[in-house]
Amino acid sequence: MKIIFAIAKNTFREAVRDKILYAILGFAALFILSSLFVGQLSRGDIVPVKSFGLAGIYIFGLVASIFLGSSIIYKEIERRTLYFVLAKPVSRANVILGKFFGLLAAVALTTIFMAIIYEGVIFYQRGGFDYGAILAVLFQIMEESLFIALLIFLSSIIPPLTSTICAVIILFVGHLTPSALAEAKLVGGISHKFISLLYYVLPNLEKFDIRNFVVHNSPIPGSVGIIAFCYALLYTILLLYCAILLFNRREL
């Protein structure tokens, strides 16, 4: 654990000193703050403000994950920084896990920072905080955990650009398959089989989207949280396990 913690701390430190992260945070802050204008345009209706703000947190959280995570292992191999690490009493599994926790900490911190700006905007608009948004951000961090594990898995086998493209496609499909499956059930045939395959193989990221509930102040069933947590945990463990297996076979 000590070694995983040391690698995680180092990864976190490297990530939070990356200028790209500050650029992303700057844009995110501008985007979330611009929801103040949305508030004016909607003549005091808070729903568009919440919707715009939470969407901003989500999009920029994913952008940060992709920029920091798509080359995280590949870069270490290409630049040979791993040579220092692996000659020490460190296993390749330690490297994968340390990188995962360090990157998750950096992305979660970025998300929390954006959430604070969002709460500031909401407080300014209606004089109170949006407590439901805290829950939405927690769900988002669960999704980010799964997504970072996916990026680490991809980064350990393919170059950054390919890894980014694959991750974005999986993200898109992962949000689309639940509704696509419902439609395909009505159509049946090969389309149904194909979409079912995608649904069961790729991560179902819709499980982490409770933003609509939060925006409209609808009650969120307790089971949704438990299912999302268990799903994120199991999927993340599976992806990290596969990443370790592949990384162990990789020639350096």
Kindly tell me which of 5 and 229 has the beta carbon lying closer to other proteins. Answer: 5
Q: 3-state SS string over the chain?
A: CHHHHHHHHHHHHHHHCCHHHHHHHHHHHHHHHCHHHHHHHCCCCHHHHHHHHHHHHHHHHHHHHHHHHCCHHHHHHHCCHHHHHHCCCCCHHHHHHHHHHHHHHHHHHHHHHHHHHHHHHHHHHHCCCCHHHHHHHHHHHHHHHHHHHHHHHHHCCCCHHHHHHHHHHHHHHHHHHHHHHHHHHHHCHHHHHHHHHHHHHCCCHHHHCCHHHHHCCCCCCHHHHHHHHHHHHHHHHHHHHHHHHHHHHCCC
Beta carbon nearer to other proteins, 222 or 251: 251
CB of 206 to other proteins, least distance (A): 36
Least distance from C-beta 1 to other proteins, angstroms? 11
Shortest Å distance, C-beta 188 to other proteins: 47
In the complex, the residues that contact other proteins under the rule CB under 8 A are 2-3, 6-7, 9-10, 13-14, 17-18, 79-91, 251-252
Smallest gap from residue 97 Cβ to other proteins (A): 14
Decide whether 191 or 248 has the Cβ nearer to other proteins. 248
Q: Which is nearer to other proteins, 84 or 123 (CB)?
A: 84
Between residues 2 and 43, which has the closer beta carbon with respect to other proteins?
2
In the complex, minimum distance from the CB of residue 142 to other proteins, in angstroms, rounded to a whole number: 28
